[in-house]
Structure 1
Amino acid sequence: MNQTPSSPIQGNKAVNPCARVFRDPIHFLALGFGSGCAPKAPGTFGTLAAIPLYLLAQPLPLWAYLLLTTIGFIVGIWICDRAARDLGVHDHPAIVWDEVVGYFVTMIAAPAGWLWIVIGFVLFRVFDILKPWPIRRADQRIGGGFGIMFDDLLAAGYAWLVLQALAGLFTTTP
């Protein structure tokens, strides 16, 4: 069994989150289509995996984009909870569906263009990694699939606010 450096130890054996990523559709989603199997910075790779999905969703009307993002969050609670239970580790680093949805939240009503895609990516990663108040508190105190999803929702909220403020400063309306 291949082991990633971030594989926690369960009893006497290492938990390999990627052992069934391509055999189990829930793990495939929870591990961000395999991006969570990156040996370093799986959250960053999970967010990168969100970008092509965002590009597909970006042309949708705002109501449809919001509906898709909401469904991704709600379904993500179950997906992340199931993967965490299967792995025996709450919020295993390889579980990155929360980063995918977090990026979608960050990019709600974002201006078009690669610059804004990159700015949204960087902002979300900064807030997700630094976990300013109350993100860190939520991450430590809320368990299960909701806890896995919720701290990234908060990080995305901060990232969205900064992105919208920057967009307001640097874009003009016709």
Structure 2
Amino acid sequence: MPNAFLTFLYSGLCPKAPGTAGSLLAVILGAGIIHYISMETLVLLTILFTLMGVKHINAYEANSGNHDDSRIVIDEVVGVWIALILSSGTILQIVLSFVFFRLFDIWKPSLIGKIDQNVKGGWGVIGDDMLAGLVAGICSAATFQFFGYVQNTLLN
């Protein structure tokens, strides 16, 4: 069974939608880290969790023979934190980051899906979520900017 780190405090053991459960917990903790500590801390934790995640996923897969176990959600944590790092100024941006991340993580369009299907081991498990987080953060920031522009244009 994956440990507390790989299941992100056991949120990955949720019987329905473990990836969403892990992502939701990660958004709450990530937003708290940004608000109460600093963005830099979240960046450093994201790097640390990525490197530790790859190592622990590789060890888990070697021992279990199971690639990308749905209970392992540390990859979702890394991905959603990347989205928050790119776009987390307001509650709306945090929600948009979460929604876009889950959309891209589940849908896996283009390169996200190719990484998921073709890259083995820990980097394969985490890599698609990293890219989904990058795209989600950009989409969240762009959406927020677009609606801010529209609002400013209409009010002026």
- What TM-score comes out, normalization by structure 1 length? 0.77
| Aligned length, in residue pairs | 148
State how 1:18-167 maps to structure 2 within 5 Å. Answer: 27-59=3-35, 60-167=37-144
* Cα distance in 2, alignment partners of residues 52 and 137 from structure 1: 29
Residue 50 of structure 1 contacts residue 100 of structure 1 at CA under 8 Å; is this kept in 2? yes
In 1, distance between residues paired with 2:34 and 2:143? 19
Shifted more, 161-170 versus 87-96: the winner is: 161-170
Q: Distance in 2 between matches of 1:62 and 1:51?
A: 13
Deviation string 1:31-61 (CA, Å, 9 cap, x unpaired) is 1211111112111111012023212321344
Closer/same/farther in 2, CA of residues 142 and 111 from structure 1, 3 Å limit: closer
Instruction: Give the percent of matched residue pairs that are identical in Structure 1 and Structure 2.
Output: 35
Using the alignment, how far apart are the partners of 2:75 and 2:27 within structure 1? Answer: 14
Q: Report the Cα distance in structure 1 between the residues aligned to 2:64 and 2:9, rounded to whole angstroms.
A: 17
Is the Cα–Cα contact under 8 Å of residues 111 and 167 in structure 1 kept in the other structure? no
Give the letter aligned to residue 45 of structure 1.
A
Summarize deviations over 1:73-124 as a string: whole Å, max 9, x none.
1111112222333332011111100001111001114243322222111100
Q: Is the 8 A contact 2:101 2:132 kept in 1?
A: yes
Q: Distance in 2 between matches of 1:38 and 1:87?
A: 20
Give the letter for the 1:126 counterpart: L
Summarize the Cα distance change of 1:171–1:64 in structure 2 as closer, same or farther, 3 Å threshold. farther
Pair 46,87 (structure 1): closer, same or farther in 2 beyond 3 Å = farther
Shift of 1:138: 1.0
Contact 1:30 1:95 in 2 (8 A): yes
Q: Structure 1 segments of 4 or more deviating over 6 A?
A: none
Of 62-71 and 160-169, deviating more is: 62-71
Q: Which structure 2 segments of 5+ residues have no match? A: 150-156
2:152 equivalent in structure 1: none
Between 1 and 2, higher relative CO (CA 8 Å, sep ≥ 6) is seen in: 2
Distance 1:38 1:109, change over 3 A: same
Q: Which protein is richer in helix relative to its size? A: 2
Give the superposition deviation at 1:63. 3.6
